[in-house]
């Protein structure tokens, strides 16, 4: 998403990383992997650490304003980005695309919340701007999950709805890119 901001000439440098099991790091996920909590936790911790390393890398680049770092996360990346932003004070703005609170439908999700609690994380951002972009027909991260997370966020915050499902239209991406540029470049 932020890569588009660079293409639009908005003065935003970007670095996109593939999370474990995503992009070039994609491997088929079998049921034994999904049922191995320790394995999943290691991959989750690796994703968090890699995002923190990426932020430090960007901050060290001479062409990057280290006082104007933002995080953009899409779907699972929204969960990772939120947790990283809550831990890293260098993050000045956050975009959560197709992200929200965890579902509250199962015991398994309550166990996950003990390790990853989006509501708790977003409360730690107090004072840093958050933009959420979400599809009204999203069945992966439902609109009620997005609304719960948005309600828990402190100001400044915005939520923008699009007539889509989990895959947001290019208008949402362009909108978020402009927002990032405005928040980070003034």
Which domains, from first to last, does the chain contain? Answer: 67-185 (3.40.50.1820)
Residue 102 has φ and ψ, to the nearest 5°, of -70, 150
Helices (H), the chain: 2-7, 31-34, 37-60, 76-87, 107-115, 118-123, 143-152, 170-185
For residue 42, the model assigns a pLDDT of: 79
Rounded to two decimals, the pTM is 0.86
| First-to-final CA distance of the chain | 19
| Mean pLDDT of successive 10-residue stretches along the chain, which has 186 residues | 51 76 63 64 83 92 91 92 94 96 73 81 94 97 97 97 97 92 89
Residue 95 has φ and ψ, to the nearest 5°, of -115, 125
For residue 4, the model assigns a pLDDT of: 39
For residue 95, the model assigns a pLDDT of: 97
For residue 3, the model assigns a pLDDT of: 45
For residue 8, the model assigns a pLDDT of: 58
For residue 5, the model assigns a pLDDT of: 45
For residue 63, the model assigns a pLDDT of: 86
Question: Could you tell me the CA-to-CA distances from 128 to 35, 67, 90, 118, 124 in Å, in that order?
Answer: 36, 13, 10, 16, 9
Coil, helix or strand at residue 139: coil
């Amino acid at each position: 998403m932020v890569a588009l901001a660079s293409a639009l000439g908005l003065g935003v440098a970007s670095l996109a990383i593939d999370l474990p099991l995503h992009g070039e790091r994609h491997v088929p996920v079998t049921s034994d992997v999904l049922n191995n909590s320790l394995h999943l936790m290691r991959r989750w911790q690796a994703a968090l650490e890699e995002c923190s390393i990426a932020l430090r890398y960007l901050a060290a680049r001479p062409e990057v304003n280290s006082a104007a770092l933002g995080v953009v996360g899409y779907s699972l990346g929204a969960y990772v980005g939120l947790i990283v932003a809550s831990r890293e004070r260098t993050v000045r703005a956050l975009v959560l695309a197709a992200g929200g609170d965890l579902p509250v439908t199962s015991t398994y999700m309550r166990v996950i919340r003990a390790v990853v609690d989006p509501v708790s994380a977003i409360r730690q951002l107090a004072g840093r701007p958050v933009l959420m972009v979400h599809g009204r027909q999203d069945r992966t991260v439902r609109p009620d999950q997005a609304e719960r997370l948005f309600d828990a966020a402190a100001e400044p915050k915005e939520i923008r709805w699009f007539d889509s499902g989990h895959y947001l239209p290019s208008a949402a991406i362009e909108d978020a890119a402009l927002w990032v540029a405005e928040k980070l470049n003034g």
